[in-house]
């Protein structure tokens, strides 16, 4: 029975990581931009949803969707104005600028919302426990698993089955060739960036029960998001799903079975995985 | 012409003497005004400003001026540099502040050399006041405010067994030690414990294990903020609360954090040296002034009372010894001094220069739609247990 508990906890946690990180994986693979500020969009989503729920009485799920739309829109503006000039710059410039964006986001959120974590805004129907056969289990975590699975399915369809997805994959594989055959890669970049930021915002909003929202969010969880990207493989949607679930399950199992090791277990496994597959579990094919 | 000049010079000299008799006493405040611990700097500053509003900015005509410096986060080198700057350039007579132990410890050498008394408004590691004879503390130590909780839990609280969850860092280890010692001494049984790394974000496994251990109570100690909010929510969401297991805590459930945790926190029992809802007149004055100055949501916390009392101590010492008070005079003045704080009666230990105070056990309740702590037990005056157990540690 313990194994099922570990799986449920690990998958719920992994799903939050997946929803937030998948956008980062795809945009990093596609544009080769090290966007360390990705978590700031998740944080913003959490703040916006909370404000809508508590001050405007908008229900939980619509608030999360509205927050996602707002984050996507802001992401689009940021892509056109801040990120685009970065594509041609080196990685160091990208790291510096996007890290600076994190600090700006921290200062802005502290100024607007104060330095403490924001008030919780979980709806009543997500509180409490559900009987899952072998035990009772928190409704909220089942909700996360369900939403994560639905999003993964939708993303799978968009990326692997739609024309947009085919163009996207082509552009990830070989941007030069994609341009040559008439794909508007710039537009593709912007759309993908918007989608990635919207997902991050959505993940930040619904994941707030596990990753509480405070101004340091983008910095505190940055390493987790990057681990998912690196283990999954740049540009790989399936890789990021596998990596997020693996991180969630491994960390959870470690805490249940060998709590003395602390977080050490996760990092040693990450280390081993990267020795074994330096490009990640399921890397996207690239021409370069 | 010459006569006029002489008159002007004479008048200027006279003015000079009257100016000299009204002196400015500068107090340097080194605190965390930005970064992840910015809450503390804000609390210190608001409490100092509130104190000055109530008690005035001058003492017998001498102006007391506070000079604020931001140390950012845990940054001992910067803390030291700021202390140097405050002493040498700003010529401060006192230093106050310090939310974090490393920042407080970093100035020990300088303040000893310069004989500048330094009042700790928050940093809670026991050893600090032994590192310089010029440290005086008006906050608390970790073991001090935990001390009565395990004893009460095992006896009057009728909790026979407990599970201990602490963050894996020095204050967490201190908390674990005193909780387990006192709980077992009072006849309770520890059925399990875990040290949680500081970077853990998902606490489900820890709460699950604690819930399955058969313990009647779960004690937690961690830095108040995102992690403590997560773990308390998880405690309720996993049904431990509904099973009747008691949650025991400390600073994690100060009033300022309660709205972020939500109604899940109701029923949590904690021990602390300051309860925001207490009815001491000093506390009512503090709350009222803070609300008038900084809006209805300004809730005082331990940082506010630490700074309030530190400021009061400095004010009282200047009142007694005048604006040219020396470091040694201040320390002598502080030793053994008793006064009424917003938290209740407090005293500065004559040997250790550390605070001696009552500790309050409280329960989180919802009153008039607001989550608050309500006292239900008050200890006697508690000295820092670590210093009693380690009389010679330096």
Say if residues B347 and B337 touch (Cβ distance below 8 Å): yes
CA atoms within 13 A on the CB side of A63: 24
Do residue A110 and residue B202 have CB atoms under 8 angstroms apart?
Answer: no
Is the predicted pLDDT of residue A119 greater than 70, yes or no? yes
Average model confidence (pLDDT) for chain B? 92
Say if residues B248 and B270 touch (Cβ distance below 8 Å): yes
* Residue B103 C-alpha from the chain's centroid: 14
- CB–CB contacts below 8 A, A to B: 96
B3: confidence class by pLDDT, cuts 50, 70, 90: low
Name the residue ranges covered by the structural domains of chain A: 2-122+140-276
Distance from CA of A62 to the nearest CA of B (A): 21
Q: What is the DSSP pairing of strand A136-138 with strand B118-120?
A: unpaired
Q: How far apart are CA B362 and CA B370, in angstroms?
A: 15
Class of domain A2-122+140-276: mainly alpha
A287: confidence class by pLDDT, cuts 50, 70, 90: very low
Query: What does each C-alpha distance from A245 to A8, A20, B104, B199 come to in angstroms?
Result: 11, 13, 42, 19
Is the predicted pLDDT of residue A136 greater than 80, yes or no? yes
Per-residue pLDDT, B5: 59
A9 contact B CB<8A:
yes
Distance from CA of A283 to the nearest CA of B (A): 27
pLDDT tens across A79-110, in order? 999 988 888 888 899 999 999 999 999 999 98
Nearest to A120 among B204, B256, B261 (CB): B261
pLDDT tens across B118-151, in order? 999 999 999 999 999 999 999 999 999 999 999 9
Q: Which domains does chain B have, with CATH numbers?
A: 10-140+279-353 (3.40.50.2300), 144-272+359-389 (3.40.50.2300)
pLDDT tens across B77-91, in order? 999 999 999 999 999
Residue ranges of E strands in chain B: 24-31, 58-59, 62-70, 94-97, 118-120, 135-137, 161-167, 189-196, 217-221, 246-249, 269-272, 338-341, 344-348, 355-367, 370-382
As for the ipTM of the complex, it is: 0.77
Three-class SS of residue B120? strand
Closest CA to B207 of B170, B229, B238, B181: B238
Do residue B205 and residue A9 have CB atoms under 8 angstroms apart?
Answer: yes
Nearest to B205 among A211, A212, A256 (CB): A256
Nearest to B205 among A136, A214, A252 (CB): A252
Residue ranges of E strands in chain A: 129-131, 136-138
Q: How far apart are CA A108 and CA A70, in angstroms?
A: 17
Per-residue pLDDT, B6: 61
Q: Indicate yes or no: pTM above 0.90.
A: no
B17: confidence class by pLDDT, cuts 50, 70, 90: very low
């Amino acid at each position: 029975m313990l194994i099922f508990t570990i799986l449920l906890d690990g998958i719920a946690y992994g799903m939050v990581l997946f929803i937030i990180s998948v956008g980062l994986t795809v945009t990093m693979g596609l544009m080769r931009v090290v966007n360390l500020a990705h978590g700031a969009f998740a944080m913003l989503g959490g703040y916006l949803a909370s404000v809508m729920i508590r001050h405007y009485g908008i229900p939980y799920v619509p608030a999360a969707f509205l927050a996602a739309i707002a984050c996507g829109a802001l992401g689009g503006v940021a892509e056109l104005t801040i990120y685009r000039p970065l594509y041609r710059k080196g990685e160091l410039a990208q790291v510096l600028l996007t890290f600076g964006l994190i600090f700006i986001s921290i200062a802005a959120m502290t100024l607007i919302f104060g330095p403490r974590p924001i008030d919780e805004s979980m709806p009543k129907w997500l509180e409490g426990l559900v009987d899952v056969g072998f035990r009772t289990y928190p409704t909220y975590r089942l909700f996360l698993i369900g939403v994560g699975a639905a999003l993964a399915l939708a993303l799978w369809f968009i990326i692997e089955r739609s024309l947009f997805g085919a163009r996207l994959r082509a552009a990830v594989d070989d941007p030069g060739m994609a341009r040559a055959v008439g794909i508007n890669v710039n537009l593709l970049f912007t759309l993908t960036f918007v989608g990635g930021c919207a997902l991050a915002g959505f993940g930040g909003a619904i994941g707030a029960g596990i990753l509480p929202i405070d101004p340091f969010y983008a910095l505190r969880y940055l390493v987790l998001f990057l681990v998912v990207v690196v283990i999954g493989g740049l540009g790989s949607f399936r890789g990021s799903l596998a990596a997020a679930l693996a991180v969630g399950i491994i960390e959870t199992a470690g805490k249940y079975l060998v709590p003395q090791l602390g977080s050490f277990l996760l990092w040693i496994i990450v280390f081993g995985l990267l020795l074994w597959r330096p490009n990640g579990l399921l890397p996207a094919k690239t021409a370069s | 012409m010459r006569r006029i000049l002489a008159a002007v010079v004479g008048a200027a000299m006279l003015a000079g003497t009257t100016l000299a008799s009204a002196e400015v006493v500068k107090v340097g405040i080194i605190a965390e005004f930005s970064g992840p611990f910015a809450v503390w700097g804000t609390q210190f500053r608001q409490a100092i400003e509130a104190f000055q509003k109530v008690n005035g900015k001058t003492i017998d005509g001498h102006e007391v001026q506070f000079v604020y410096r931001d140390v950012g986060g845990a940054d001992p080198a910067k803390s030291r540099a700021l202390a140097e700057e405050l002493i040498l350039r700003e010529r401060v007579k006192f230093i106050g502040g310090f939310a974090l132990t490393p920042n407080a410890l970093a100035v020990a050498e300088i303040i000893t050399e310069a004989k500048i008394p330094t009042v700790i408004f928050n940093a809670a590691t026991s050893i600090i006041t032994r590192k310089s004879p010029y440290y005086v503390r008006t906050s608390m130590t970790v073991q001090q405010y935990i001390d009565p909780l395990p004893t009460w839990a095992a006896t009057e609280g009728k909790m026979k067994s407990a599970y201990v969850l602490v963050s894996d860092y020095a204050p967490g280890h201190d908390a674990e030690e005193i909780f387990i010692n006192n709980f077992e001494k009072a006849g309770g049984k520890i059925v399990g414990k875990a040290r949680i790394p500081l970077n853990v974000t998902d606490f489900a496994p820890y709460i699950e294990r604690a819930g399955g251990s058969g313990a009647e109570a779960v004690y937690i100690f961690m830095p108040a903020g995102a992690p403590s909010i997560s773990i308390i929510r998880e405690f309720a969401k996993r049904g431990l609360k509904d099973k009747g297991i008691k949650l025991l805590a400390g600073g994690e459930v100060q009033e300022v954090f309660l709205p972020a945790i939500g109604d899940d926190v109701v029923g949590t029992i904690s021990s602390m040296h300051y309860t925001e809802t207490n009815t001491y007149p000093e506390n009512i004055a503090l709350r009222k002034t803070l609300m008038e100055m900084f809006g209805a949501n300004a809730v005082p916390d331990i940082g506010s009372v630490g700074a309030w009392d530190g400021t009061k101590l400095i004010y009282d010492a200047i009142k007694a010894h005048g604006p040219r008070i020396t470091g040694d005079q201040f320390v002598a003045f502080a030793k053994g001094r008793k006064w009424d704080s917003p938290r209740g009666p407090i005293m500065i230990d004559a040997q250790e220069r550390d605070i001696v105070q009552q500790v309050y056990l409280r329960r989180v309740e919802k009153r008039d739609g607001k989550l608050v702590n309500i006292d239900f037990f008050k200890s006697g005056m508690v000295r820092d247990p670590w210093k009693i157990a380690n009389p010679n540690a330096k």
